Amino acid sequence: MLTIKTIGQVLKEKRTSLGLDLSEAEQLTQVQKLYIVALETDDYKALPGDFYIKAYLKQYAEKLGLNADRIIQAYDEGKGITVEDKEDILENYHFVKPSERVEPEEEVPKTWRHYVPIISLSAAALLIVVGVFAAVIMNKPETPDLITNDYSYSKSEVSTSKSSTSSTKPSESSTKANSSTPEPTIAISGSSSAMIATISNISDPIKVDFSVAAGRTIWVGMTNSNVPATGQTLSDGANSLSALVTTGAENSVITLGSVEGLTITVNGKALDLSSLTTTGPNKITLQINRTTSNSAAQ
């Protein structure tokens, strides 16, 4: 039977028929897992551009043993792919010989003798429960009278302790007022398509904001955060994204389809993206050095 399927359905069915999960497919095809998910769900907006879409389609199809030219042609024409589904009508059919058929046995009616063991066990259990309850009641100790005169307190001592406590509060607040937390700092290294941003004197929660200029479309992926594994595409319809770094994570890798027209801030401090000069996919590694208790106290 012939059916028409999308390119993503054909790719996913071929991968699953080979018994490959996403990690194994990534190692076999050398295509990043997030791009594999985008290809198999026909989400081409999640990929950097038309050139990369065709390159990843060709590389992924060839490694899976599919006709790459046919898939590229279907992508260019914006059509599905006609495939043949083979249905095995014998798969769920099982013939039972007359000699192998088992007729249901007639149920023999049960008499009162059948229930004698059950009744005996229930009665014995009931007697045990009653005996335990009676033993608890008979051995229950008498409740002693409470002597309320053994406890007293001094109002003067209470008032004195309250006044001493209140007198210490101004000194505590003044100590807090004198303490100061150092401002977060960002050190940039690397160039071209890979950059490392070392962030010091920062504490959780760590918020990373992305915004895209009008007329630009940029795909964003981010590890160790609440951004979906498939990433998110920013455009005029939704040109901003706020992500939270996982509490306690020491790093987070940001993958970008492009940086032109993109602004990134970390807890309100802007990242300098001028060192990223390539037009293709770019990677930013956030190295996080959180504020320690000692530095906060100073």
Whole-number Å distance between alpha carbons of 245 and 224: 6
Cis peptide before 205 (omega within 30 of 0): yes
pLDDT of residue 204: 92
Nearest to 66 by CA among 3, 4, 2, 17: 17
Mean pLDDT of the chain: 78
Secondary structure element (H or E) that encloses residue 24, with its range: helix 22-29
Residue 21 corresponds to which amino acid?
D
Q: What is the pLDDT of residues 78-117, one digit of tens each?
A: 777 777 765 544 444 455 555 665 555 556 677 777 788 8
| Side-by-side strand order, sheet with 251-256 | 185-191, 194-202, 282-290, 251-256, 218-222, 232-234
Q: Residue 197: CB partners within 8 Å, gap ≥ 6?
A: 186, 187, 188, 266, 271, 284, 285, 286, 287
| Predicted confidence (pLDDT) at residue 154 exceeds the cutoff of 50 | no
Which segments of 70-213 are extended strands (E)?
Answer: 81-84, 185-191, 194-202, 207-212
- Tell me what the mean pLDDT of segment 42-53 comes to: 84
Report helix, strand or coil for 259.
coil
Distances (CA, A) of 109 to 113, 114, 120, 139, 177: 11, 10, 21, 49, 88
Whole-number Å distance between alpha carbons of 220 and 48: 10
- Tell me what the mean pLDDT of segment 16-21 comes to: 89
| Predicted confidence (pLDDT) at residue 29 exceeds the cutoff of 70 | yes
Whole-number Å distance between alpha carbons of 259 and 278: 9
**Domains of the chain, each with CATH number or no CATH:** 2-84 (1.10.260.40), 185-290 (no CATH)
Place of tokens 């009665």: 123
Report helix, strand or coil for 206.
coil
Report helix, strand or coil for 174.
helix
Give the global pTM. Answer: 0.40
Q: What is the pLDDT of residues 238-254, one digit of tens each?
A: 889 899 999 999 999 98
Phi, psi of 44 (to 5 degrees): -75, -20
